[in-house]
């Protein structure tokens, strides 16, 4: 149904946001380690 497809779309958007945040945190951690 339309409601189900809308829900999946928002779930996909949330996952992309989480992936972006995770990548940023990992990158910052990597930079901190290289500085030492």
**CA distances from residue 8 to 4, 17, 20, 24, 28 in whole angstroms, order as listed:** 6, 14, 18, 24, 30
pLDDT tens profile 2-36: 666 666 778 888 889 999 999 999 999 999 998 86
Assessment of whether the complete model's pTM goes beyond 0.85: no
Using DSSP, state whether 36 is helix, strand or coil: coil
Give the contacts of 36 (CB within 8 A, at least 6 positions apart): none
């Amino acid at each position: 149904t339309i409601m189900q497809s809308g829900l999946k779309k928002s779930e996909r958007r949330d996952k992309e946001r989480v992936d972006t945040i995770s990548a940023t945190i990992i990158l910052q951690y990597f930079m901190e380690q290289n500085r030492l």
